[in-house]
Structure 1
Amino acid sequence: MEKRKEPPSPGHSGILIKRQRGEAVPSTEIAISSGGNDRGQLIRTIQRTSGLEAPIISLSGAHTSEILSCRFDPTGQNIAACGADRSVSLWRTYPPNTNYGLLPNLHKAAILDLQWSLTSPMLYTVSADKTIGSRRIRAHSGVINSLDRVVAGGSELLATGADDGKVKVWKSDEKESIADWDLGCPVTSVCWSPDGAQIYAGALDNVIHVYDLRKQEVVMALRGHTDIPSSLSVSPSGNYLLSPSFSSNTIVWDIRPFSPSPSRIHRVLQGAPAGFENTLSRAAWSQEDGGKRVAVGGADRTVTIWDVESTRVLYKLPGHKGTVTSVDFHPKEPIILTGSTDATMLLGEIERSI
């Protein structure tokens, strides 16, 4: 038999190679056609960018209803998801992508948000039952919609926002809040500044309120949304704030101390429809490239990824059968995690940023 020639390197994307049946297909090649009576099959080489087993992986079977939040842990090795079925599922990011843990009935109502601890192998959850799940603390008098954590002053601090109109600050090892701030209307989203000095809170008045923890007062109000902000996320640099909203507009705010823009609106991104369900969509910044890209899920069952500076849509990623409620970027590789009302998650490999 004639000696088979070596295939081109994976960098030559788009080249077709014919292989005899029974030959192993390298991880950088995908079979794109195979005839029943043909002796061979066509293979297209692609450039892989991550350690995932395949470019797209489905994580399903753990939840029985909507997934409302899903996040990578700080190492990128593990994934946690929570949802309307009151449970939290734990998964391996890399092969085998096993569901190695399920915490059922963790709360008495839907679990709306979760965060991995930055200092220990612990998860924090908040629920419609008005409690923080890590310690079963009845934290608010209304549904708790959002949670964030930060390490500041040698302690891990939590911030929670709820329908009772309050934002509360907690030390991770204490059962009483150390700060309490009343916005006067339901709070839909909270997040910390990287240094733990300020809290950003989105509310039913369509405004993002900025509270200084040291001064114990509101120091700024970001106005520009025409409907309720559904989540908040600070960029890896700490210079920008991402906020999708029920109006289907996503705003990137300039939160540097001396912004050149009086309105502090840096970019307005369009392409991710919020839909009529008014789902609190969890958006995210890319991590491995320093925040050049952002992602927001939509009611059109896709995830939209933009280049922030050009506002160009880079990806419209399909695959879900319901509204995409939560997205997160891997901390070290170009991988995006998505959760949906269809009770499944998808891991997707994307190209590295230029």
Structure 2
Amino acid sequence: MSKRPGSPPGGALIKRARSSAEPEEQQMIISQSNDERNQALIRTVKRTSSLEAPIISLSGSHSAEILSCRFDPSGQNIAACSADRGISLWRTYPPNTNYGLLNTIHKAPTLDLQWSLFSPLLYSVSADHTLAYTDLATGTRVRRLRAHREVINSLDRTLAGGAGVELVATGSDDGTVRVWEGGDEGGKEPVAIFEVGCPVTGVCWSADGANIYASALDNDIHVLDLRKQEQVSVLTGHTDTPTSVSLSPSGTHLLSPSFSSQTIIHDVRPFSTAPNRIHRVLSGAPAGFENTLLKGAWSKEDGGRRVAVGGADRTVTIWDVESSKVQYKLPGHKGTVTAVDFHPKEPIILTASKDGTMLLGEIEPSVI
């Protein structure tokens, strides 16, 4: 057999540099039996992302359960927060280094975080009742607001109108949702305060930044109008507390897991024809008995064709939204999967668990 033109002497193989734009195929040995017919059987696995491997474990930074994890808007970095008070920063792509560990931002478990949409800031909230702004360029906390009277469970951020002002919404056990001006020069007082009347488990902004969706202990999702500074409607359907809320990339639907192990997708378009605005009811992710505030997510690289929620069965469930069918049950963790996020540009899912670790895994792209 003749060598290819340009082959090195002796037939040595040179590994071609991988292009980030061209997912490679990997060969995996799947049998090493004594049967010569099956010995060293090789199967080719088509890669779908630019990750170094189909599954990557991110561990060693936290000594307690991880409660939230998120990609930054570019997809190049990951932030996670933990019951050990720490916030860890990671590279998504090789080398998948843990390049930052912030242990002095909060004095109690850090419950949620969000990357700023346009500045090198990370927003985080804690059981110490505070909202912190951390400058990631220096790793220092630039603002610390005693934002609530009780534990703060959730936060979200949005750009207000076209003015380039970032607003941060926080939801707390004190029964209020509060809105703050983002950036390192915002005021010390909230822009708005909404009285929900019972502990708030999750918050997220509408696509236009005009409304806040707040899940609460009364089993409802409260729709709060920022301009009117009042509640304008309620999304019903849960039989137990919704644990978080997440808006679809199109801004038309709202995802909310719950303690009842049912995940509801609400249609939040102005003229929805869905009964009670319920678009889909999904099953398959057990909430368990620990009352963990599980955080779900929408896929982004395909425009929100899939949603994912972790569960007490130590797996992540991914559904196709329109068919309501389970596409994946992803194992790998040794504890309840508390939070998930999808990469903004590639079919990659990030999962975090009570076992103190995160997993990065590539999935098949959606068939459009």
TM exceeds 0.5?
yes
Following superposition, the deviation at residue 34 of structure 1 comes to: 3.8
State the TM-score, normalizing by the size of structure 1: 0.92
The 2-side partners of 1:108 and 1:223 are apart by 36
Q: Is the 8 A contact 2:25 2:45 kept in 1?
A: no
Query: Given the superposition, is the C-alpha separation of residues 23 and 320 from structure 1 closer, same or farther in structure 2, using an over 3 Å criterion?
Result: farther
Residue number in structure 2 paired with 1:19: none
- For 2:233, the equivalent position in structure 1 comes to 220
| Structure 1: stretches of 5+ with no match in the other structure | 6-21
Partner of 2:254: 241
TM-fit CA distance, 1:31: 2.3
Aligned with residue 26 of structure 2, among 10, 25, 28? 28
Report matched runs for 1:241-280 at 5 Å. Answer: 241-280=254-293
Name the amino acid aligned to 1:29.
Answer: Q
CA distance in 1, matches of 2:279, 2:98: 40
User: Which whole-Å CA distance do the structure 2 matches of 1:42 and 1:60 have between them?
Assistant: 32
Q: Which residue of 1 aligns with 2:342?
A: 329
CA distance in 1, matches of 2:203, 2:151: 14
Pairwise CA distance, 1:275: 0.2
* Separation in 2, partners of 1:247, 1:165: 21
Deviation at 1:211, TM superposition (A): 0.7
Give the structure 1 partner of residue 181 of structure 2. Answer: 171
1:89 CA displacement: 0.4
- Shift in Å at residue 122 of structure 1? 1.2
Structure 1 residue 262: Cα displacement: 3.5
Structure 1 23/42 Cα, relative in aligned 2: closer, same or farther at 3 Å? Answer: farther
Matches within 5 A, 1:126-141: 126-134=125-133, 135-141=143-149
SS of alignment partner, residue 28 of structure 1? strand
Output the CA distance in 2 between the equivalents of 1:293 and 1:145: 25
Q: How does 1:64-75 map to 2 (within 5 A)?
A: 64-75=63-74
Q: 2:198 aligns with which of 176, 180, 185?
A: 185
Deviation at 1:41, TM superposition (A): 2.9
CA distance in 1, matches of 2:3, 2:125: 59
Moved more, 39-48 or 217-226: 39-48
Aligned to 1:315: 328
Residue identity matched to 1:90? L
Q: Tell me the residue number matched to 1:42.
A: 41
In structure 2, C-alpha distance between the alignment counterparts of 1:100 and 1:254, rounded to whole Å: 40
SS at match of 1:133: strand
Aligned equivalent of 1:148: 156
AA in 2 matched with 1:45? T
DSSP 3-state at the match of 2:276: coil
SS at match of 2:46: coil
Letter aligned with residue 151 of structure 2: V
The residue that corresponds to 1:78 in the other structure is 77
Q: Deviations over 1:245-289 (max 9, x none)?
A: 000000000000001124000000000000001101110000000
In 2, Cα distance between the equivalents of 1:238 and 1:339?
25
Given candidates 349, 357, 361, the residue that maps to 1:344 is: 357
- Structure 2 CA distance for aligned equivalents of residues 4 and 191 of structure 1: 60
What is the Cα deviation at residue 33 of structure 1?
Answer: 3.0
What does the per-residue CA deviation read over 1:321-350, in whole Å, with 9 as the maximum and x for residues that have no partner?
A: 000000000000000000000000000000
The normalised TM-score by structure 2 is 0.88
Q: Distance in 1 between matches of 2:204 and 2:121?
A: 19
Partner amino acid, structure 2, of 1:161 = G
Provide, for residues 87-107 of structure 1, a one-character-per-residue CA deviation record: whole Å limited to 9, x for no partner: 000000000100011111321
Q: Which amino acid aligns with 1:142?
A: E
Letter in 2 for 1:158: V
**Structure 2 runs not aligned, ≥5 long:** 5-12, 17-23, 134-142
Cα displacement string for residues 119-152 of structure 1 (whole angstroms, at most 9, x for unaligned residues):
1121100000000121211000010000000011
Give me the identity figure in percent.
69
Moved more, 306-315 or 261-270: 261-270
